[in-house]
Every structure is written in C-alpha cells, then in structure tokens.
Amino acid sequence: MSKILITGGAGFIGSHAAEYFAGKGYDVVVYDNLSRSELLGKDDKNAKFNWNYLKKIKRIKLIKGDVRDFESLRKNGSDADIVVHTAAQTAVTTSVINPEPDFSVNVIGTFNVLELARRSKKKPSIIYCSTNKVYGHNVNKVKVLEEKKRYKFEDKYRHGIPEDFSIDLCEHTPYGCSKLSGDIYMQDFSYQYGLKIGVFRMSCIYGTRQFGVEDQGWVSWFAIATLMNRPITIYGDGKQVRDVLFVKDLIRIYDTFLKSNIPYGVFNTGGGNKKTLSLLELLDILEETTGKRSPISFAEWRPSDQKVYISNISKAKRKLGWEPKIAPKEGVTKLVEWIKENKKIFS
C-alpha cells in the first residue's frame, strides 16, 4: 500500500487526514513540530491531544519535525507516494502582529515540500491546503445586501466566488500573501515538473478535534466558549457570512482528487451557497443545541475581514463529482458533542 506523508499531521485537518487514510490501509507518516500553541500564544493541550489520539491508530508513524528543515523533511518523506501538506501558520491576526513565522512556515515550508517532491524518484502527488484569503480584499468589492441576521452577495455572485476571481491589486494580510505564494508555487511546479497537485482554496473548515481560538477557527471557538460559559467578542456586527464545511467532507475531496486522472487542479472548497452561516446564526444554533448563550460584546472590524465569503464549488462538482454532505446544524451538533465529551481539555 502507498505511503502518505502528512505535514502538520497533528493539527486539526492533518489529524483527520491521517486517521482517514490509515483507515483506508495507507502507511501514514505524521510530520509535525507541535508549534501551533507557540504561534498562537496558547497552551499546548491541543497539539498533544491530537498527537496522543493518533498514537492509538494502526499504520500511523509520528515524527516530530519542522517543514522549514529540508533535510529532516527529506529524511522522513523521500519515499512518500503522496504528500498532504497541511502544515501552516493559520491565523490572520497572528500574521499581522508577527509576519516572520507566517512567511517562514507558509512560504519556505511549502517550497521545501515541493522540492521534496521534485527531487523524489517517486514524484509524489500533493494535496495543498490553500485558502479563500488568496482573493484578499477584492471580495469586499462585491456588492452585498444586508438582511436581518446576515449579509449576502449580489445576484451575480449568488453561487459564490469562482476560481478565476481576481487575486491582484488588493490587500491580503501577510497570511493571505504567504498562502497565495504557496498556491502559485504549487501550480507552477505542477506545470514545470509534471507533478500531480491539487490546490484546495478552503473556506471555513470545522469539526471535531478542532481547538478554535478567537482569531482562528471561529465555529469551534464559538462552540467552546458557549459550553464553557466564556464571553464572545464579535468583530463587526455579526452578520458576516461564510460557507462552512465539515472536516470529513474536506478529506473526502482530497481522496477523490488523488484517485482521479486529473493531473492538477485548483478548487474552491467549502460548503458552497447551500451551506452557509453568519456569526449570529451560529449563536442561535448553539443556543438551540446547548440551551446556553455566551455574553456577547462587539468591537471594530478586523483587518481585511470580509462581510461575505462563499465558495463557488461548481468546478469541484463538475470535475470531481464531489459535493458536501453534512449540513451546518448537523456538523455543529457533532462538534458540540465532542466538546462535551472532552470538557476537561478546555477547563
């Protein structure tokens, strides 16, 4: 069976990918430096939780290593048939405060993954976790309409933002810049060196084993705060809307791409226009699900926040035959149940 290297494999998305592919019979190498807590200035319960969770699963080998260390990466991944590159600094506000680790992890680390693949005799397929932030502030140039508890795009973009939407001449934040750099490098290495690469411009991914904090993983953070009786600050008015995608639906599109005969592709990957939530709507679902509502305060909008972002996922449907299955309320309920089962981690 094929060997899969998963960078950032002890993170939220990486750990789900590791569990999924090990369950399919692949030999999985999880490669992670467990630095998320340091980058976000939090404790390290989350990194250790997923790391210890994966220890119990057959066919998974855990390696502590940094994607910025090419020799270590080469030593542990040169024989991989597939690389799922999830390692990244993922918080927008953190990138604005301290852009250096954002650049070194997201740009240099991504280049190292590509060099690993280019130099390998196996020419591994690559899954790259990109982001909707590559479109930057251009998204805010789309006209939005205001409703009671949400904003929505004008009719032209009612199906969401497509892959050919402009990425130029706009603010991105350092995070958006770093991920866009990796996005473009992935595309070019596929063209130049014949590598099978799938670039997935992800919207809001949420689910179990996600340790959301205020500046990253908002669906999870709202759920944790609600269950733990913690106050929530909303930056803006709470009507901002995102399409949300449960993590198991995300891993399924990775697998679908890897099994396809498509040599490369860029895919907007989210819940699409049928699976969306505003912040206020999520609070309502959480209250309905838990019987609780956190104290809410409002603050100024954060840099480059988008009033609406919805992925147009028609290309993924057309090319891969993929579409999300798990509705937001169902997914949030699964997340709430997991938090309840693991309350001691959040205390």
The set of residues, in sequence order, having a beta carbon less than 8 Å from that of 37 and lying 6+ positions away, is 43, 44, 45, 46, 47
In degrees rounded to 5, what are phi and psi of residue 297?
-130, 160
> In this structure, what DSSP letter does residue 307 have?
S
Alpha carbon distance 205, 324 (integer Å):
12
Q: b/e for 61-82, b at 16 or more Cβ within 10 A? A: bbbebbbbebebbeebbeebbb
> In this structure, what DSSP letter does residue 170 have?
S
* Strand 276-278 with 264-269, pairing: unpaired
The set of residues, in sequence order, having a beta carbon less than 8 Å from that of 265 and lying 6+ positions away, is 198, 199, 257, 315, 319
Cβ 269 vs Cβ 253: under 8 Å = yes
Cβ 124 vs Cβ 131: under 8 Å = no
Catalytic-residue membership of 175? yes
In order of 66, 86, 280, the CA distances from 232 in angstroms are: 33, 28, 11
Cβ 25 vs Cβ 59: under 8 Å = yes
Q: Which residue is catalytic, options 157, 175, 254, 309?
A: 175
Q: Where are the beta strands (DSSP E) in 181-257?
A: 197-202, 204-206, 232-235, 241-246
Let me know how many helices (H) and strands (E) the chain has, helices first. Answer: 14, 15
Active site residues per annotation? 175
